[in-house]
Structure 1
């Protein structure tokens, strides 16, 4: 094959690494949601990125304000403990606890913080179950202002 006919796999795309300065990892405090960190941490180390851990509390409805404050405090403490125990010392983390619909809150945070990548776990529902229950991960993938890495829960 002549040199003139060889083409790059990238075609007309500029060959440069993506800029990953902020990686968002939504957590629901299940062991399964932490699997996303297996992928986020090495990327954060490689690119010297900051990891943003976020937990979304359900819409409080008629829950007393004191109880909502207590739930936020407990969730923020858990995120802090997870940062200390699951993230290497050189990986910088920011933690946020939001209230409302998870997909909406995660997407809003991604836009506000100019997140470069969202790494999340999915339950892998399909068919009627997905239609009836809905999928937070799917909504995030459809509307995210940045790339999304989906890790299937195992």
Structure 2
């Protein structure tokens, strides 16, 4: 088979998650994270977005109403990653999460990005992050990316809120 390279402007359009309780999922994705509800499909599915898009996240209980979370040690989605436009935007959502006492599962500096990690109410991993400008991404001597996982400076992130 000949080599194929996906077009550079290709992106992930949306995710669709099975949830046990639709309202509880909406409380998390809309109430806490601030996504907007774009439509409901009866009482079994909802679609939410940022900025008026038709949907970034689909939520449904078609095969999962009342079900326990997926096993952590099994196959499946590791996490959903949500990209914020700026470091200050990441600081705003971090402050919101911190104020309500929602638990983080991690906070990392990856060189190319800074990320907060948490689980939604169904145990699905969620990464909230912003990308540093590409010209600041660390590189190895061969030109490949030098990604790493260091602790995120949370105080430094919150200091973004005081900048104009």
Q: TM tier, shorter chain?
A: under 0.3
Larger RCO (alpha carbons 8 Å, 6+ apart): 1
Going by fraction, where is strand more abundant, 1 or 2? 2
Q: TM-score, normalised by structure 1?
A: 0.26
Q: TM-score, normalised by structure 2?
A: 0.25
Going by fraction, where is helix more abundant, 1 or 2? 1
